[in-house]
């Protein structure tokens, strides 16, 4: 008998999403690794036993035994693309969009991302931390236990570094695991509107090295990657500008990501795949040829159906085709004040099933194990496997498919981060 800090038994479906140390592709996306009448044993914040209730009870003992009463347990969700550090809201823009304004039109007229930049530049670190903690709490309540957070509402060196400081503070204060991403190339700030290349110079000559310097002395160093991202789009950054930013970042040591094909195909997908990006995100208008390249690469295709849903688009990224073509597909909320004010991975799964034709099993793997690999943490989180961080959620249902089937409600009964109920 081995001692455990916590044992959970009588799990109707223990949905492990186990992957044997690699991301899931193709038919493997249909396998969520269910153990009927399952149980887990946890010690020092990690899974030390995963099996049936009978196996766990015969191998482990603990003073703390939780009876899951036949409910479903899944790995905590991993949300691999968010922009949750910002000040204010975009409620006026919500109304403008309802009345017919397009997202890129609002951005071009100095609203959208730029309006959030104005608020974020003015906000103190303490205020940003306070506002962002509320957003992390909402994500946790939806079952998310790990997330990526991007900068990108500063667009000057000082404010981008302030956002990194906020992200580090959130990581210290909140049970959700966090991975930082530097997104100075999110939009061209108003002071560079007429000379966008000069802003790209500033990013490449100053901001990226300042951010990298911050990273190497931060608590993230050695624990998580540090990503550099770019918004490759008309009205944001051209293909050449995106290449410059990503090449400079790579040479400094960043891992790379890119927002591509959200509205316009500028060739960003091919560029980022050829540069070895960890993920390319959105993919609403990716070409068949680029899907072929993606399938042969180690780059993740990240789909974000919450953005389409929120902006009222009828065209979604073709996640069905991405999976069937053999791409490694991950799913995220993109939680941000403009294009996707949504903290919920279950909601992203629900939309993905309906409009991108992922099956519930595929959506779950995309929001857990594949999402973990898409932010470089596949060996640490994203599945219920021995040695991984004991992050899980208990759902008020007997069948995991209900997580995608129901929407707008709340099936999460409990969330554990590192083996602790939070
Ligand atoms: O992923 N596309 C650019 N960035 C975000 C939106 C950010 C915002 O609107 O504030 C996105 O959709
Ligand atoms: Fe985004």
pLDDT tens digits along 341-367: 999 999 999 999 999 999 999 999 999
By the 8 A CB rule, do 242 and 265 touch? no
Confidence of residue 110 (pLDDT cuts 50, 70, 90): confident
User: Average pLDDT of 176-181?
Assistant: 98
Q: Which of ligand 1's atoms lies nearest the C-alpha of 81?
A: 1
CB 112 near ligand 1, within 6 Å: yes
Q: Is 307 in the pocket of ligand 1 (CB under 6 A)?
A: yes
Q: What is the mean pLDDT of residues 58-62?
A: 98
CA of 317 to the centre of ligand 1 (A): 16
pLDDT-derived band at 164 (thresholds 50, 70, 90) equals: very high
Q: Does ligand 1 have an atom closer than 6 angstroms to the CB of 135?
A: no
Give the per-residue pLDDT at 399. Answer: 98
Q: 100-104, 159-163, 305-309, 350-354: lowest mean pLDDT where?
A: 100-104
Residue nearest to atom 11 of ligand 1 (CA): 339
- Is the pLDDT at 390 greater than 90? The verdict is yes
The structural domains of the chain, ordered by start, are 2-76+382-421 (2.30.40.10), 77-373 (3.20.20.140)
* CA of residue 210 to ligand 1 center, whole Å: 23
Helix (H) or strand (E) holding 394: strand 392-395
Does the beta carbon of 153 sit less than 6 angstroms from any atom of ligand 1?
Answer: no
Atom of ligand 1 nearest to the CA of 107: 9
For residue 116 and ligand 1, the question of a CB distance below 6 A is answered with yes
CA distance 57 to 66: 12
- Closest residue by CA, ligand 1 atom 12: 339
Centre a 10 Å sphere on the Cβ of residue 252 and count the other Cβ atoms it contains: 16
Rounded CA-CA distance 241/237 in Å is 6
pLDDT at 406 over 90: yes
Q: Measured from the CB, is residue 83 less than 6 Å from ligand 1?
A: yes
Closest-approaching ligand to the CA atom of 307: 1
How far CA 340 is from CA of 25, 112, 310, 311, 337, in Å, comes to: 26, 12, 6, 8, 6
Q: Is the minimum distance from the CB of 115 to ligand 1 under 6 angstroms? A: no
Counting ligands in written order, the one closest to the CA of 79 is 2
Q: Which atom of ligand 1 is nearest to the CA of 338?
A: 9
**Beta-carbon contacts of residue 304 (< 8 Å; ≥ 6 apart):** 81, 281, 282, 317, 331, 332, 333, 334, 340, 348
For a pLDDT cut of 70, what percent of the chain falls above it?
Answer: 100
User: CA 390, CA 17: separation in Å to the nearest integer?
Assistant: 13
Q: Tell which atom from ligand 1 comes closest to the C-alpha of 116.
A: 10
148 lines ligand 1 (CB under 6 A): no
Nearest CA to ligand 1 atom 8: 338
Task: Decide if pLDDT at 281 tops 90.
Answer: yes
The pick from 335, 339, 342 for probing ligand 1's pocket by mutation, whose C-beta has the most ligand atoms within 8 angstroms, reads 339
How far is ligand 2, taken at its centre, from the CA of residue 386, in Å? 32
- Residue 38, SS3 per DSSP: strand
Contact of 74 with 143, CB cutoff 8 Å: yes
pLDDT of residue 322: 98
In tens, the pLDDT along 182-195 reads 999 999 999 999 99
pLDDT(45) > 90: yes
User: If you take atom 6 of ligand 1, which residue's CA is the nearest one?
Assistant: 339
Find the 264 Cα to ligand 2 centroid distance in Å. Answer: 15
Mutate to test the pocket of ligand 1, among 338, 341, 348 (most ligand atoms within 8 A of CB): 338
Mean pLDDT of 53-75: 98
Report residue 335's pLDDT band, with 50, 70 and 90 as the boundaries: very high
48 by DSSP, 3-state: which?
strand
* The pLDDT of residue 136 is above 90: yes
Q: Which residues pair with 281 in a beta bridge?
A: 259, 302
Please give the Cα distance from 250 to 31 (Å, whole number). Answer: 35
């Amino acid at each position: 008998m081995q001692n455990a800090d916590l044992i959970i038994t009588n799990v109707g479906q223990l949905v492990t999403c186990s992957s044997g140390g690699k991301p899931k592709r193709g038919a493997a996306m249909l396998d969520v690794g269910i153990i009927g009448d399952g149980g887990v044993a946890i010690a020092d914040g990690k899974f030390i036993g995963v099996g049936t209730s009978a196996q766990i009870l015969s191998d482990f003992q603990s003073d703390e035994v939780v009876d899951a009463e036949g409910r479903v347990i899944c790995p905590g969700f991993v949300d691999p693309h968010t922009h949750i550090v910002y000040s204010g809201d975009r409620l006026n823009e919500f109304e403008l969009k309802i009345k017919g304004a397009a997202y890129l039109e609002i951005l071009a007229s100095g609203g959208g991302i730029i309006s959030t930049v104005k608020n974020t530049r003015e906000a103190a670190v303490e205020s940003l931390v306070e506002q962002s903690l509320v957003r992390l709490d909402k994500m946790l309540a939806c079952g998310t236990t790990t997330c990526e957070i991007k900068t990108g509402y500063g667009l000057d060196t000082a404010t981008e570094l302030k956002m990194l400081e906020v992200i580090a503070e959130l990581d210290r204060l909140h049970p959700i695991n966090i991975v930082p991403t530097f997104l100075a190339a999110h939009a061209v700030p108003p002071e560079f509107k007429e000379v966008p290349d000069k802003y790209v110079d500033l990013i490449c000559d100053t901001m990226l090295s300042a951010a990298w310097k911050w990273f190497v002395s931060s608590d993230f160093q050695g624990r998580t990657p540090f990503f550099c991202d770019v918004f490759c789009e008309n009205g944001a950054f051209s293909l050449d500008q995106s290449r410059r930013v990503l090449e400079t970042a790579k040479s400094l040591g960043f891992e790379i990501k890119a927002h591509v094909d959200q509205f316009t195909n500028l060739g960003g997908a091919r560029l980022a795949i050829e540069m070895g990006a960890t993920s390319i995100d959105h993919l609403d208008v990716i070409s068949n040829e680029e899907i072929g390249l993606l399938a042969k690469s180690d780059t993740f295709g990240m789909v974000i159906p919450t953005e389409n849903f929120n902006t009222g688009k009828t065209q979604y990224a073709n996640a069905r085709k991405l999976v069937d073509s053999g791409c490694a597909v991950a799913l995220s909320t993109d939680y941000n004040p403009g294009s996707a004010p949504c903290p919920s991975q279950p909601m992203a799964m629900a939309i993905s099933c309906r409009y991108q034709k992922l099956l519930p099993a595929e959506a779950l793997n995309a929001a857990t194990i594949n999402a973990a690999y898409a932010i470089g943490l596949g060996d640490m989180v994203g599945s219920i496997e021995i040695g991984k961080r004991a992050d899980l959620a208990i759902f008020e249902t007997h069948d995991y498919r209900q997580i995608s089937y129901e929407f707008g409600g709340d099936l999460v009964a409990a969330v554990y981060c590192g083996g602790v109920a939070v």
